[in-house]
């Protein structure tokens, strides 16, 4: 693997700041489109994408007032299967895509009333949902507690093994010829000077690196997740638009001899608290996840572990027999309206692909399509229009 700062005085068609699933997916597809790509990230592939459940769940996460976000999430879900197939063909490795659907369950009558209201809204948006009583829920998942009040099956929501998927993207990018610099991009450079946004006619000329030196390029993609705002040279409105939202989750493992305890992803509401359990092909179960406004804090807390296990065991008592294999904390890139920031902004040649919040893995394939469209002079899909950087900008930084 390249050492820090090894590509100090090189040039490229495109420099991508950020090596999570978003940045790596863009790098792979841009290189496959014939562009010379350098990806810069000090911990390539070891960021938030490894601390995720891998849910592809636009239906069971659809909320009131987020119609535009639902439309782009559905675009992302429709794109994901063919993207995953191509990724597996390039690398020869499975990414663990599961299509059994998501089963949302309610622990008590109050939880069920809330789920019923959301289900009515989702059906009004044309989404498929099948209401189930407690017995039907347990017929689908026999280890569920008999106390579950009822549930809804969302067959259109899937999941992917996030770690296998991230590893596949890194391998595919390498096969496509993407060069990796294990260093952090500190600033976007323009013709008007280091880190300066410049006037209306300014254009990017590359990036500055934390370990010193620059990478020259006329096109820069900032895809640094929750750290995107730390990159100097972005318009001020964009630097403040992305914030870290902490999430803690657990990885559980089956003891030898215990059969798999889940087939579907379970999204449960337990006395108003949300918890999900996501099965893996290798027998793991992911339990998550908290949502905490604590800034860039990556500590794992006893309270979060307790609450996640308590709620998981409330709906799936057999959880208590699984092995606690790992506790994790990651930072999601949140935005004021919960929507991603994808598109051109500021000096010419600058592209943003960040702010994907809880849906980075779901949106990775569609975001790569949108970014490569911009990089090659084409228009992204119309579903992306509400999520351009311009909604956070005024004056000459807006486009």
Distance of CA 399 to the CA centre of its chain: 25
Lookup: tokens for 231: 């990159």
pLDDT at residue 134 is higher than 80: yes
pLDDT > 50? residue 1: no
Q: Which of 233, 203, 235 is nearest to 347 (CA)?
A: 203
For the chain, give the percent of residues with pLDDT over 90: 85
Q: What is the mean pLDDT of the chain?
A: 92
Give the pLDDT confidence score for residue 201 in this predicted structure.
72
Q: Which residue has the tokens 């309610």?
A: 106
Nearest to 68 by CA among 125, 131, 142, 110: 125
Closest of 299, 309, 304 to residue 330, by C-alpha: 299
Encode pLDDT of 24-67 as tens digits.
999 999 999 999 999 999 986 556 667 789 999 999 998 888 99
End-to-end CA distance of the chain, in Å? Answer: 38
pLDDT greater than 50 at residue 7: no
Mean per-residue pLDDT, 286-304: 95
Strand-by-strand arrangement of the 130-133 sheet: 130-133, 150-154, 102-106, 265-270, 273-279, 285-288, 243-253, 323-334
Query: What pairing do the DSSP bridges indicate for beta strands 102-106 and 265-270?
Result: parallel
Q: Which stretch, 8-12, 44-48, 124-128, has highest mean pLDDT?
A: 124-128
User: pTM of the entire structure?
Assistant: 0.93
Q: How far apart are CA 349 and CA 85, in angstroms?
A: 31
Q: Which residue has the higher pLDDT, 65 or 3?
A: 65
The predicted pLDDT at position 199 comes to: 53
Instruction: Give tens-digit pLDDT for 65-92.
Output: 899 999 999 999 999 999 999 999 999 9
State the pLDDT at residue 8: 47
Higher pLDDT, 1 or 151: 151
Beta bridge pairs of residue 279: 285
* pLDDT value at 396 more than 50: no
- Cβ atoms of 344 and 397 within 8 Å: the answer is no
Contact 244, 251 (CB under 8 A): no
273-279: average pLDDT: 96
pLDDT at 5 > cutoff 50: no
């Amino acid at each position: 693997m390249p050492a820090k700062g090894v590509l100090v005085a090189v040039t490229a068609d495109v420099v991508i700041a950020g090596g999570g699933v978003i940045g790596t997916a863009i790098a792979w597809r841009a290189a496959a489109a014939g562009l010379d790509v350098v990806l810069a990230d000090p911990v390539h592939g070891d960021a938030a994408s490894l601390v995720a459940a891998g849910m592809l769940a636009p239906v069971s996460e659809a909320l009131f007032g987020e119609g535009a976000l639902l439309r782009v999430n559905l675009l992302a879900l429709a794109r994901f299967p063919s993207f995953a197939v191509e990724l597996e063909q390039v690398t020869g490795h499975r990414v663990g895509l599961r299509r059994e659907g998501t089963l949302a369950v309610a622990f008590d009558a109050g939880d069920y009333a809330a789920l019923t209201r959301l289900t009515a809204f989702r059906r009004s948006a044309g989404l498929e949902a099948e209401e189930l009583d407690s017995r039907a829920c347990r017929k689908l998942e026999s280890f569920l507690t008999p106390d579950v009040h009822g549930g809804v099956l969302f067959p259109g929501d899937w999941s992917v093994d996030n770690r296998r998927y991230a590893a596949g993207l890194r391998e595919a990018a390498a096969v496509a010829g993407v060069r990796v610099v294990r260093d952090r991009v500190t600033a976007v450079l323009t013709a008007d000077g280091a880190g300066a946004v410049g006037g209306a006619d300014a254009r990017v000329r590359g990036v500055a690196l934390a370990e010193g030196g620059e990478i020259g390029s006329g096109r820069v993609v900032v895809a640094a997740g929750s750290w995107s705002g730390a990159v100097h040279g972005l318009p001020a409105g964009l630097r403040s638009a992305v914030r870290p939202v902490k999430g803690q989750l657990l990885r559980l493992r089956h003891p030898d001899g215990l059969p798999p305890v889940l087939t579907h992803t379970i999204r449960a509401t337990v006395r108003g608290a949300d918890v999900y359990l996501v099965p893996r092909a290798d027998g793991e179960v992911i339990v998550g996840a908290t949502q905490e406004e604590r800034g860039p804090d990556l500590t794992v807390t006893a309270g979060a572990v307790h609450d996640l296990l308590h709620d998981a065991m409330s709906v799936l008592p057999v959880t208590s027999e699984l092995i606690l294999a790992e506790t994790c904390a990651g930072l999601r890139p949140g935005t004021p309206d919960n929507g991603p920031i994808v598109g051109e902004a500021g000096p010419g040649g600058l592209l943003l692909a960040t702010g994907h919040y809880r849906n980075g893995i779901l949106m990775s394939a569609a975001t790569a399509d949108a970014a490569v469209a911009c990089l090659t002079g084409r228009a992204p899909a119309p579903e992306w229009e509400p999520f351009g950087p311009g909604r956070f900008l005024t004056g000459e930084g807006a486009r």
